[in-house]
Amino acid sequence: MGIAVISYVAAIACAMTAAFLSDGTATSPAVVNMMTSVVVFAAAGIVLHVISSTNLPSLKIERERT
């Protein structure tokens, strides 16, 4: 869950950087790259959050001892 939070924070930081670098249009390569990073970090955060909150059953095969 900790890395998911780091991904969320990185997405917010990239969004603020994109807003700071933007002049009203998204034609600058730096702004486009920051916006792409927002999508990637947000998606990674969601995936990591879901994986960390999943409760999987034990997949170990139990053998009866005779």
Which residue range(s) make up the domain with 7?
2-52
| pLDDT band at residue 8 using 50, 70 and 90 as cut-offs | very high
Is the pLDDT at 23 greater than 90, yes or no? Answer: no
pLDDT at 47: 96
Give the separation between CA 17 and CA 25, rounded to whole angstroms. 14
Residue 65 lies in a domain: no
- What is the number of structural domains in the chain? 1
pLDDT at 13: 97
Residue 31 lies in a domain: yes
Is the pLDDT at 10 greater than 80, yes or no? Answer: yes
Residue 23 lies in a domain: yes
What tens digit of pLDDT does each residue of 24-64 get?
Answer: 777 888 899 999 999 999 999 999 999 988 888 877 888 88
Report the candidate in 44, 50, 51 with the shortest Cα–Cα distance to residue 7: 44
pLDDT at 27: 80
Residue 60 lies in a domain: no
- The encoded tokens of residue 38 equal 């927002």
